[in-house]
Amino acid sequence: MKQLLLVRHGKSEWGNAHLADFDRPLNPRGHRNAPEMAARLLQKNLVPQQLVSSPALRAITTAKHFAQAWKKSTEQIKEDPSIYEANVKTLLKVINNFKNKHDYIAVFGHNPGFTDLVNYLSDADIYNIPTCGTVLIEFEVDDWALVSHHTGKLLQFDYPKSPNDD
């Protein structure tokens, strides 16, 4: 059994027109939402073994907030440049290459790739993963290489303004 947690980066700053997209930081709401969403997962005992992130500033900062809330070293976050601006095919390649020693992995990245990936991998019908939204998918396989189209089951979809706050 494998579990994949997809985390879209927190709300980012758009104020500086001279800043490259890759270098956009989180805005104050993004800095607030990330620890809150990590805490929600912690309360449900849903802390992954491995954290993998896009190196874009807003994604890696979100991953660091989650790591801190989960009492993990931020040095443990593995950066994968191919996640930035990735489509479903590229993201699937990243997942298929995960080491099988980890059964539960979190990936921090971007839309529209993440929303497209969730709908591709599972029976989900999600229109949009909001900023700092989390999606947990379970796969009845023992090898990440076997994760493919509609092999996953959506277990949880949560986001900062979600109406189903516990």
- 104 in helix, strand or coil? strand
Instruction: Reply yes or no: is the peptide bond before residue 112 cis, omega within 30 of 0.
Output: yes
Summarize the annotated binding site as residue ranges. 58
The C-alpha atoms of residue 93 and residue 2 are separated, in whole angstroms, by: 16
Summarize the annotated binding site for substrate as residue ranges. 58
The C-alpha atoms of residue 19 and residue 65 are separated, in whole angstroms, by: 22
**Geometric angle at alpha carbon 145, from 82 and 84, rounded to 5°:** 10
- Helices first, then strands: H and E counts in the chain: 4, 6
Packed helices 113-121 and 88-96: angle between N→C axes, nearest 10 degrees: 60
Residue 21 C-alpha from the chain's centroid: 18
